[in-house]
Amino acid sequence: MVGTTEVTNHNEDSNGAIHNSNDVFEEKVDELRRLMGKAEGDPLRIVGVGAGAWGSVFAAMLQGGYGHLREKVQIRIWRRAGRTVDRATAEHLFEVINSREDVLRRLIRRCAYLKYVEARLGDRTLNADEILKDGFCLNMIDTPLCPLKVVTNLQEAVWDADIVINGLPSTETRAVFEEISRYWKERITAPVIISLAKGVEAELEPEPRIVTPTQMINRATGVSMENILYLGGPNIAAEIYNKEYANARICGAAKWRRPLAMFLRQPHFIVWDNGDLVTHEVMGGLKNVYAIGAGMVAALTNESATSKSVYFAHCTSEMIFITHLLSEEPERLAGPLLADTYVTLLKGRNAWYGQNLAKGELSLEMGDSIKGKGMIQGVSAVKAFYELLCQSSLSVLHPEENKHVAPVELCPILKTLYKILIIREFPCQAILQALRDETMNDPRDRIEIAQTHAVYRPYLLGQQP
């Protein structure tokens, strides 16, 4: 049951039959322990680093599946200490608790209910790490999780970890893993790292290229790319924890991606494996760019289906054009990219951010870390993709002007988002002006350029030509 301390021990198949699932989970953990060379009595140590919505849900899913096997596997999550819960959030949290009988009973049983009463009355200040232990993620208060083992000392959390789950935003990944590397200097065996981060940075020297979170982790820690994987898919964290059917891909070297796909798979969360790590990771960042614009269009047109479809046609054509720059076989990415884009436009935090910016309920001065939502990774991704694609060394032939231009000149939506979000030259309404520009090319023309011209630039992802 979601939100209780009891472990779900049964699954129901399509015919309504009940099956004990503990044996299945134990077999999977035994197999992974064998592959990692774990000795009898030495538990497999899994640590989540970062406690945003997806990082917390991911840890809670593992706890729900494997938490009863305490002698074989230990699951904990690290988050920074000191983040306080404001009075309004404490009051809302109290309402959530009292609306869920299972959660209320659990807290009373754990002698943890009184502090939430005191916080509601303003007699006590709660901390984010404190409430996470009880199953409440600060970025996702309305979806109670199972209780988690929370550690606020980073060294304590990671020094002996076998598997590390990177649940940090891409903008924080480098700095935190540089700190982690100091704690791993004496390690004999390298851990396996699974990154959930969807974001990118641009590196312009010695030649333009994208840097992804897995590459940041590799540079920061020296852990081989063979041991670093990316997991992503069209997922909304709260829905996944509430057991809405979902799927994802874990990408990386065959040594770990296949056994980890089996280990992470649950009846409602199907995990496939794929060898194309960096490209899938970049696509996870790219869709966040256009999700912000989709939110703006929705707000500015009063949810006009026609306007949103026009925007979707243009943004997907830009994404297709960009994938042709990045990948030798872009067609393989079409399904995963569109699926991830679709769910992000429907319900993701980046679309929510764009919508609330356009409504005036948020301002750019508030930054891209938003209370109750966490980091809006699409903002930094807009900057990264724009800076990368405005490099003249990547020039492509413009279809009408018959001259070579930087790729960004064929991406008017990306250009407009950069001028709204990064240099703040335009208001949000500029996104509609860009769509209504009579000189804008048919989206099909952009796709045709990508498909008929040699636009692939292997060095953009650090690949050898």
Which residues are designated catalytic? Answer: 287
- Which residue type is seen at 27? E
Torsion of CA 38, 42, 48, 54, to 10 degrees: 70
Token representation of residue 314: 């243009």
272 φ, ψ (degrees, to nearest 5): -100, 170
Which distant-in-sequence residues (6+ apart) come within 8 Å of 144 by Cβ?
2, 3, 96, 97, 100, 103, 135, 136
CA distance linking residue 456 with residue 459, whole number of Å:
9
Q: Can you tell me whether residue 366 is helix, strand or coil?
A: helix
Q: How many CB atoms lie within 10 A of CB 331?
A: 11
- The residue with tokens 């280990």 is 263
> At what angle are helices 22-35 and 254-264 packed, to 10 degrees?
160
Which residues, including other chains, have CB under 8 Å from residue 427's CB and lie 6 or more apart?
420
Is residue 85 within 8 A of residue 104, CB to CB? The reply is no
Residue 284 CB contacts under 8 Å (≥ 6 apart), including other chains: 198, 199, 230, 232, 340
